[in-house]
Amino acid sequence: MLHLPPWSRMPLVLNVLEPGIASAVETKVAEFRTARGEAAWGSCFRIEHLPIEVLHRTHVAGSAQALVDEADSRNHACCICMQAFTPGITKRAVCLSCRNSSHITCIASVGCCDSTGSPPLDAEDRLIPDFIKCPVCDDVSKWGDLLRTVGVYQKQPEMLGSSDEDENELDENEIEDSPVDVS
């Protein structure tokens, strides 16, 4: 799909969920640009040098609203790792069938499957799963459908990194837990 119009003309935005993968992505991009004879990115590639917009979860639109409200009220811990969710901060995915909640990284690491529910042969090599199998109810759903339960985000007027004062007052979780668009 990335090679077909109109997507081939759009900037590719990556939201890396695993910190260890971030350095691998940076290395591969540098190798790719060097192979193409392009100038190195320098500090522009590193997210901490770019202005970062803080996006806050406000609501989930449409029919998923009731689903997420129900999950927020009854699920206080990840159904996979059993760690408690921090109210209003932890981003979690909700199974569309059983309404159990899990961390996005937890469900991605244990639930990767093909459309039949079988583990794919190349599961270890995938950065983004195509399908997810719920470990509680064994329901198979598309990764994109599961991500829709995480929330719809609305831009706020403040910009992180716009002044030296803002950079010094940032909490570590504000950057890691906020979706970032670097396009």
10-residue averages of pLDDT along the chain (183 residues) = 71 71 80 73 46 45 60 79 78 82 84 80 73 88 80 41 44 44 46
Predicted local distance difference test score (pLDDT) of residue 55: 47
Task: Report if residue 46 sits inside a domain.
Answer: yes
Domain ranges, residue 164: 7-54+157-176
CA distance 84 to 78: 6
Q: Are residues 118 and 165 in the same domain?
A: no
Domain count, the chain: 2
Q: For the whole prediction, is pTM greater than 0.85?
A: no
DSSP state of 52: E
52 backbone φψ class: left, alpha, beta (φ>0; ψ -120 to 50):
beta
The verdict on 81 and 113 lying in the same domain is yes
Q: What is the β-pairing status of strands 152-160 and 92-94?
A: unpaired
Amino acid 182: pLDDT: 47
- Decide if 14 is inside a domain: yes
CATH number, domain of 108, equals 3.30.40.10
Q: Are residues 74 and 106 in the same domain?
A: yes
Q: Using CA atoms, how far apart are residues 126 and 36, in angstroms rounded to an integer? A: 25
